[in-house]
Amino acid sequence: RLFVYFFLINLFGCLFSIAPVAAKESYVTVVNPVRSRIHWNDSGALESQINLILDKNIPATWLIQYSNLSDKQAMNSLKSLPANQEIGLFLEVDEKLADDSLVPYLYGDGDWARPDKVFLSGYSPTERLRMLDKIFASFKEIFGYYPKSVGVWYIDAVSLNYIVDNYAITAVLDCSDQYQTDKYGLWGKPWGNPYYPRKLNPLLPASTAS
């Protein structure tokens, strides 16, 4: 079954946290999306976050961008995490993912965070699936299994259904509301409650789990 969670707190540059709340039980889920090293040149940034989590013995999920998969230092740190630390994927498109997937990328045309560059929905359905196959295959080559969780700011129905059907994803962390930040806006999704997304529109809760 697929649940959708939400970004709530931007801790710094490449790392985030979320706090989904169920109807009858309050809890906190710690998720750390890790962007590629171009956003955090300090090699100690990731280690500091890992040490903080481990020192407090907090179960957490680490969502890694495609470029991290070829970063030996980052991979050594993440592969050595104990069993209560989950590794998943952060599905932002960057130059390396597009290039390695043979997908055209808008080099030098606006900010990297523009939605038509960083979101899968900025590309044709065929290009989206090619990038998804590339990042999931690369993840499995390194870790030996496919991830169960992914993170995105926004994911379209084509991409979401594909990774559920082909890679058995069970949870998505995404953004609930964001008004005109990074040249796009999201509005009206449920706040702070996991939900089953509709197959044709993941912005809306489904009426049933099926």
Q: Which residue has the higher pLDDT, 125 or 19?
A: 125
Average pLDDT over the chain reads 84
Cα separations in angstroms, 53 against 42, 56, 81, 194: 18, 5, 10, 23
The confidence band for 2, taking pLDDT boundaries of 50, 70 and 90, is low
Kindly report the number of other CB atoms within 10 A of residue 128's CB atom.
23
Rounded Cα–Cα distance for residues 84 and 87 (Å): 10
CB distance 188 to 21 below 8 Å? no
Note the pLDDT of residue 19.
41
Tens-digit pLDDT profile for residues 84-142: 999 999 999 999 999 999 999 888 777 777 888 889 999 999 999 999 999 999 999 99
Q: Is 79 exposed, middle or buried (0-12, 13-18, 19+ CB in 10 A)?
A: exposed
* Strand spans (E) along 104-164: 149-151
